[in-house]
Structure 1
């Protein structure tokens, strides 16, 4: 049994490291990002056990607080809300209330059904330069308010074995956030995104290992106000954690990483920078905590992700904190 556990843990490490190495090898290849240098997918946020479907009839409520501070290379021209800017700097804070409801419905074959919604409040601050700006000074703008809501009307979970679990999430991002053409800072994207995500998770409660990997593809509609069609995107997130009994529960420390690649070119009359395909690779530490308080499962997670390789999008550091309780 110990030999099987060792092989399983070794496989988890190999999977995480192989993904990071693959991303590092692919990154130097020539590519030519989404509109504004970012999309609905937030890098590194989809490989957390907090996001999973509750194991029984219940409601999982969690807060997701995240911040990003980054910039683009000064010579890179970025399409932003109908403008073409360079030397872009962006700071964002997002506070999201997330609800995942398992109504207790078990489908044929042993699959469990659930649904979810995420309500984000975002604050965005942007500064940039324009090549033909006659004033010669940097442009600055900020915006805050309700962002683009994420709805997951169909979520499915299935236990492959005692320790292995798989899930399928069908996420839909709605353009509910404010967007104004010609404005540097917008909390909304002004287009819809359909994002199916597949999960695989390994949990060994006795020795405390936890491994999660998720992969998804985002299809985006056109931003009609700027005639900009962001290309299809693919992303893989992975997290490996070791837990120990600590602080009236279990505290874990581990490593989390992601690989993001835009698969198809941007298009439309607003895509003045051509293909503008984006790519990013990130890696960083994660601290996790799980316990039972007043009979309710409680989880917390603190994650910092440093971007190692970025093309055609803002590069920086992302810090996130999640706190969940099951009812």
Structure 2
């Protein structure tokens, strides 16, 4: 693999880790408190073109989150209250960047897989009036593979300004069981589209990026539940001290 590609993959890994520190994600009525959008997917240099050819990304992703007390999340035929979760995941897959322009832009195709361990807890699980068991302090953990995420993107460079549009989806082939509170698959298909902008001045070393998108969730046929449409906004800023070293800060927010 070329050195430039290795440096790009390392930068993506660092930016994803930084995004976890300032995750401002909020969810409303998401099944199990889980959304498709992964904070930090895009950060600094989001819309900047890449190097034509093949590249491979391997990203370690850690998260440890808890919902506000009393927040209710539907899951199949029950409500889970007081959800918290901890996950250690590996995201991996190839990207191909085309050398021939498409509509004057640089086109790329990415396919990502997910594997790892997820631990989830619910302070209280309730079902309907004539339903099943009421469980207190329920905790589960699961290790396996998640869904497959294909993505396409177009990026235009205009000096210090860069524009991009993207589309991605979720192929629900990962480990999922509506009766579990710990899953690695989300149990339903997704279409996510959006666009972004990057300002990067190599002379000053200053960079700023933002990306916004909308996520449409298909119905989960196992639980007969459908999440609402999500809006997400990622942004990042960085300063390059040298060609290969920089300090970056990124964040994400979403709403339904």
Residue ranges of structure 2 left out of the alignment (5+ in a row): 1-23, 127-131
Judged with a 3 Å threshold, the aligned counterparts in structure 2 of structure 1 residues 199 and 98 are, in CA distance, closer, same or farther, namely farther
Judged with a 3 Å threshold, the aligned counterparts in structure 2 of structure 1 residues 49 and 188 are, in CA distance, closer, same or farther, namely same
1:66 to 58, 61, 71: 61
- Could you give the per-residue CA deviations for residues 43-78 of structure 1, whole angstroms, max 9, x where no partner exists? 2332243786524x2123222211111112232222
2:226 to 224, 229, 235: 229
Q: 2: distance between equivalents of 1:250 and 1:127?
A: 41
1:36 counterpart SS class? helix
Q: Are residues 1:49 and 2:48 paired?
A: no
Contact 1:83 1:182 in 2 (8 A): no
Q: 2: distance between equivalents of 1:88 and 1:103?
A: 43
Question: Aligned residues, how many?
Answer: 227
Q: 2: distance between equivalents of 1:261 and 1:221?
A: 17
Contact 1:213 1:238 in 2 (8 A): yes
Judged with a 3 Å threshold, the aligned counterparts in structure 2 of structure 1 residues 96 and 33 are, in CA distance, closer, same or farther, namely same
2:78 to 83, 86, 109: 83
1:158 to 156, 159, 163: 156
Deviation at 1:80, TM superposition (A): 2.7
Q: 2: distance between equivalents of 1:62 and 1:131?
A: 38
Contact 1:81 1:183 in 2 (8 A): no
Judged with a 3 Å threshold, the aligned counterparts in structure 2 of structure 1 residues 176 and 32 are, in CA distance, closer, same or farther, namely closer
Q: Are residues 1:34 and 2:33 paired?
A: no
TM-score (norm 1): 0.64
- Could you give the per-residue CA deviations for residues 261-283 of structure 1, whole angstroms, max 9, x where no partner exists? 11xxxxxxxxxxxxxxxxxxxxx
Q: 2: distance between equivalents of 1:139 and 1:93?
A: 20
1:124-135 equivalence runs, <5 A: 124-130=118-124
Greater CA radius of gyration, 1 or 2? 1
Contact 1:64 1:98 in 2 (8 A): no
Q: 1: distance between equivalents of 2:134 and 2:222?
A: 26
Q: 2: distance between equivalents of 1:136 and 1:105?
A: 57
Q: Are residues 1:204 and 2:201 paired?
A: yes
1:161-172 equivalence runs, <5 A: 161-172=158-169
Structure 1 stretches of 4+ moved >6 Å:
133-136
- Could you give the per-residue CA deviations for residues 273-304 of structure 1, whole angstroms, max 9, x where no partner exists? xxxxxxxxxxxxxxxxxxxxxxxxxxxxxxxx
TM-score (norm 2): 0.80
